[in-house]
Amino acid sequence: MRCAVIVFPGSNCDSDLYKAVNAFEGVDAEYVWYTTENLDAFDLILLPGGFAYGDYLRAGALAARTPVLKALIRAAERGVRVIGICNGFQVLTECGLLPGALQRNSGLHFICDTPLIEVVQDQSSFTSRYQQGELIRLPIAHGEGNYICDELTLRHLQAENRIVFSYASGSNPNGSVDNIAGILNSKGNVLGMMPHPERAMADWMGSSDGRRLFESALNLFPETADAA
């Protein structure tokens, strides 16, 4: 399986994401520069965290208007799986692949923490190796992670089971509506999330709970995943 790790000027989590997925047997990850206009060769596309273009105008706004995003939108429309993490989530909302927006944290401070995250649903392509209602630990590091949307959009997300991760009761760090930490598009092949699963791949990192997200997205069987 070939995975593209998209790199923008200002990305700083691309190497973490590259190493996380490339560690799995049978996975070939490669960095893809933002000027790329074709992503047809890839089975999974990853948008890393960081500060693309220094977050000028709005977080993710300039990155969403690069050539590679046009190719990514075409790939997503074909059904290719896409994961946007932190700044990548912001880019996905800015380009219209995901609804809503990410704004400044409610406390107006940058937050670096490892909150409890609830797995809201385990039937998606990205959560099949979790259990619904399971509490996991994933790091966060953001200043603009406060997810907002209008009431109608929120009702659609809830009714269509498109909220996949939420901050556990009492642990919402940024003020996100309905404690939302990660959502899907209507087709279920695009995931945006603020927590960093690539920083939770082994016990020595403080948590290994992020591994199963990539195992799910990569369609790895347990024996293959355990070999990574």
Both tokens assigned to 52? 């693309």
Q: Do residues 76 and 190 make contact, with C-beta atoms less than 8 angstroms apart?
A: yes
Instruction: Work out the number of other CB atoms within 10 angstroms of the CB of residue 98.
Output: 27
Q: Which helix (H) or strand (E) holds 223?
A: helix 222-226
Question: Which residues does residue 90 pair with via DSSP β-bridges, in sequence order?
Answer: none
Residues with catalytic function: 86, 196, 198
Specify the DSSP class assigned to residue 31: E
Q: Please state, in angstroms and rounded to a whole number, the distance separating the CA atoms of residues 85 and 7.
A: 13
